[in-house]
Structure formats: C-alpha cells, structure tokens
Amino acid sequence: MRKKVLLFFMTLIFSFSLSAEAYPDPGNQEFWDRVLSQEEIMFADGEWLTVQDGTLMVKDTPVVLHGVNLGGWMLLETWLSPFSDPDEGLAHSDILSILTERFGKEQANALLQWYMNHFITESDFTRMKSLGFNCVRIPFWYRNFMTEKGEWLSGDHRSNPGFARLDWALEQCQKNGLYAILDMHGAPGGQSSNQSTGAIGHANLYESEQAQKTMETLWTTIAKRYQNNPYVAAYDIMNEPQNNTHGGKPPWAPESIAQTNQVYDRMIHAIRKVDTRHIITIEGIWSLDHLPHPKTYGWQNMMYQLHIYDTEPEQIAGRVKELLTARKEWGVAVYVGEYNSGKNQLLAADLYRRHGISRTKWTYKTVGRNADNWGLFNKPMEKLDLQTASLTELIAALGEEMQTDSGFVFNQQEYEMMK
C-alpha cells in the first residue's frame, strides 16, 4: 500500500516538473488557475458556446469540457462490443451482414436497434452528470441515417433512426446539463480502412466525389436540424482520418494531409452555409502539425482536436505542447477528443486539467473480459458468437443485460485518475 501511495505522489510531482519544463507559457496561467478553482465545471443552461481567443466561452464565462465518449453505441466496434471477433476482422457492417444473412434484413436491424435501446438509457445521462461531467461525445456513422448508397432510411427525418436517436440523446443532454459533441465516426466511403469507421479496408472518401457529396448532404442536414440547439457544443467533422496507411501512404504524408484538409474545408463551408453559430472541431492525426492555420481557409469558431493514446511522459508532454501552442498562436480552442495513456493516465489527466484543456475519455462503457481499463464501466462477460448464437440468445443478451446497472463494474481507479 505504501508503495502505491509513493508511486502516486512521484507521478504527480513528475507531472508538475515536466509541465514547467516542457510547455510554452500559455500566457494566462492565472486565468486558468482561477477558472479551475471552481468546485464544479461550468455548464450554462441554454447558452451558446463560442471560441474567443482560444477559449471556450459562454458570454463572459470560460468553460472547460470534461466528459466521456459513447463508444460502441451507434457504431459498434467489436473489441468493446458483446460480439466475439477472434480474427479481428469484423466491423459494424460485417455484424449487420451476418445477422441479415441469418435472420433477414428486418430482424437484423431490429436486433441492433434493440441493443442500442438498452446500451445507453436515460439513467446513463443522469449518471454522467452525477459523476461530475459536463460533456458527452456521441460517435455515429452515416449508416445510422442512410443506406450504403447514400439513400435516406426514411423520407421523414423525424422517423429516421439516426435522427431519432440523436434527437433523444440531445433531449437527455438538456435534462441533465450536458453539452454534446456530434462525431461522424464513420464517413461515407470510409475516412480510413480501420474498423472504427464501421467497415474494414475501405478508405475511398478522398477519391470519391459521390462519397464526399453524400457526406456533405448528411452534415448539411444535421446542421440544419440542430442549428438552433445550444446543447450541441460542436460538430466533429470526421474521426481519425487516415489513421492507418491508405494507398501505401502514412497519414502524415503531404498528400494525405492535403486530402484530409480538402475534405475538412468542403464540409466546413457546407455547414457554414446553414449554421454559422456552432463550433466546428477537426482532428490532427496524430499531430496538430498536420492542420492548417484557420485563417488559411477562412475558418472561424474552431476547436482543434487531438486523440492522445501516447503512454510515455515525453510523448504526452509533446502533444499537450502542440495544443497549447495552437491555442496561443492560432486562437483556436483545443480539445482531446479521446484519450487513454495507460500507466501514465494520472499524469495526462492532470496536465489537461491544469491547462484548461477540454477532453472526453474513451470510453464510457465496454463489454468483454479484457477491456476494463478502457471504460468507466465494463461487463466481463463471454462474448456472443454471431454465427451460432440463436435468435433467443441474442435477444436476451442484447436487451436488459446491456444496461449499465446490469452487471457492469465501475472502474473507480480510472475515474479517480480522470478527476
């Protein structure tokens, strides 16, 4: 026990010394000290967030977003889902295909909607607020709203399953004092070949005019629908673009960076035609050095984002330095959209807090015996075999068993490090 306490304080001391040496002067440390001395993170009911000189503000009050991702909800990622994936070759589209082949299209869609209905419920939004969070990032993919060909699932958006679920989530945010970041986790055509996009091996967005047109249609429709909703903190254009090699090119290759920024620019200008008030967030993969100065493209009210999965202190320090530099020199708000720094989670979380960096932990809840350090809540259950589980077994396992208060274990240690 004494060794654990000693390790805790050594890590804390190291984080302070590292910060002083590794980071540029943020220019307003007294300001952040005053903001962060508040007992509760700010939430201004019904008021709009804007970016002012690199700071998220509600009128004259600074706001730091602190929350979680709803990973595995509207877009299934098998490694944190109730389904087994022994060969690590299944994405959401494959799950849907297997269920459709076995039970038919209507039953397959019903099963996944049944799962979503139970995986995140009203009590989860209440729970997030009670844990002290003021923000939730909501990953979705285009297939929540459209077919693979880009056709709307319903002619009436009120009955479209994607919009119906986002409408409901935003109602829960309003009830519980939470901001929402709407994250297009899976774009038409695929913004990378990673399973997190909903389909493995497809990264056709950058070369496909049809895919970009479909993406533009979806973002424009989302922006029109929520243009007057102040509980939407930001539109997150696309998650982890080109997060692995695409066409033999790494994401930091000049051509890859140019392709990514071209898509960002197209979507931002499309959104701004219908919504000039909401913040837009874009991600540098895996460095903010890959993003342009916002003035280059005429972007305004922007929040620049990193996902930090670095585990070594020097690496974490370098990423935080990038964020502080962008905030100071470019006037953008900064945000860690996803993070998990393993053994140095405490160090990372402390740096985010002390420098007023908004962040959302990946992720709120997981399913499986080996994913408990990734979620605040985890259910250590045996996963379902999609090829052999009966319809009765699937209905039972994907219903009430997926609710957070049904056998999910709270990761107190992870929570304490986040806080």
Q: CA 92, CA 65: separation in Å to the nearest integer?
A: 29
Q: Cβ-count burial of 147 within 10 angstroms (0-12 exposed, 13-18 middle, 19+ buried)?
A: exposed
pLDDT digits (tens, 9 = 90+) for 96-140: 999 999 999 999 999 999 999 999 999 999 999 999 999 999 999
Q: Which stretch of DSSP H or E encloses residue 211?
A: helix 209-226
pLDDT, greater one: 28 or 243: 243
Average pLDDT over residues 12-22: 40
Measured CA angle at 193 (ends 187, 198), to 5 deg: 50
Cβ atoms 159, 211 nearer than 8 A: no
pLDDT at 17: 40
Q: CA 96, CA 75: separation in Å to the nearest integer?
A: 11
User: Which of 304, 302, 344 is closest to 323 using CA atoms?
Assistant: 304
Polymer length of the chain:
419
pLDDT at 59: 86
**This prediction's pTM:** 0.92
pLDDT digits (tens, 9 = 90+) for 214-237: 999 999 999 999 999 999 999 999
5: pLDDT strictly greater than 60: no
pLDDT at 371: 66
Q: CA 148, CA 72: separation in Å to the nearest integer?
A: 20
pLDDT at 33: 63
pLDDT at 18: 44
User: Which of 113, 80, 195, 81 is closest to 105 using CA atoms?
Assistant: 113
182: pLDDT strictly greater than 90: yes
Q: CA 328, CA 397: separation in Å to the nearest integer?
A: 49
pLDDT digits (tens, 9 = 90+) for 26-83: 446 666 566 555 534 456 677 899 999 999 999 888 999 999 999 999 999 999 999 9
Q: Would you give the end-to-end CA distance of the chain in angstroms?
A: 21
pLDDT at 10: 37
pLDDT digits (tens, 9 = 90+) for 380-392: 999 999 999 999 9
Average pLDDT over residues 235-241: 98
Beta bridge partners of 379: 367
* Amino acid (1-letter code) at residue 4: K
Domains in the chain: ranges and CATH: 2-73+120-363 (3.20.20.80)
- Reported as a pLDDT band with limits 50, 70 and 90, residue 8 is very low
CA dihedral 72, 233, 141, 172 (to 10 degrees): 60
Mean pLDDT, the chain, whole residue set: 89
pLDDT at 99: 97
